[in-house]
Amino acid sequence: MKILHVEKKDATWGCLILWMAFFFFPSYTFAQDTLNHEPDTVMNVHSPRKATIMSAVLPGLGQVYNRQYWKVPVIYAGMGTCVYFFLFNNRWRLYYHSLDVPPEQKQLATEAYLYYERNRELSIMLFGAIYLLNVIDATVDAYLFTFDVSKNLSLHITPSLMNYSSAGFSCYFRF
């Protein structure tokens, strides 16, 4: 009986050639389709997830993706207004905090400090609300991007008389 002796070096080259053949020359298998299908059409899918992420990363970018360009200045005007009032209230809050006043006017300075601090915090909350509404708006608009709003879509409500004795309304939907 003769035993086949394979050196380690030859086995390494064999594995390397096998892996190269596997990765560089992939085999494709095709099966016959028994059903008759129409050729696939490529649809441009409008992704709500993409609009949400874009709007979360840069406010207004989701609206641009949804082709609602007029909303971008509204978003930045709202955010800019919040930043302006934050800086304004923060400046006056710091002014009243560092103010040296006589003891009889200490209460007045404290009330002014608290007033500007409350308005500063309100500006922060409004900024967050505008940012959140920006993301929600981009998501909803992306979901409704392909919604049909043609003139053939209508609802008509008219008063009607039923059995000549009772009044009511008639609704007509047209699709």
pLDDT at 49: 95
Check pLDDT > 60 for residue 165. yes
Share of the chain above pLDDT 70, in %: 73
Query: Per-residue pLDDT averaged across 69-81, rounded?
Result: 96
Check pLDDT > 70 for residue 91. yes
C-alpha span between 65 and 53 (Å, rounded)? 11
The CA-CA-CA angle for residues 171, 174, 175, to 5°, reads: 140
Check pLDDT > 60 for residue 7. no
Q: Are 63 and 138 in contact (CB under 8 A)?
A: yes
Mean per-residue pLDDT over the chain, rounded = 81
pLDDT at 28: 46
Query: What are the backbone angles phi and psi of residue 163, rounded to the nearest 5°?
Result: 55, 25
Cα of 15 vs its chain's centroid, Å: 49
- Which pTM value belongs to this model? 0.62
Better pLDDT: 64 or 103:
64
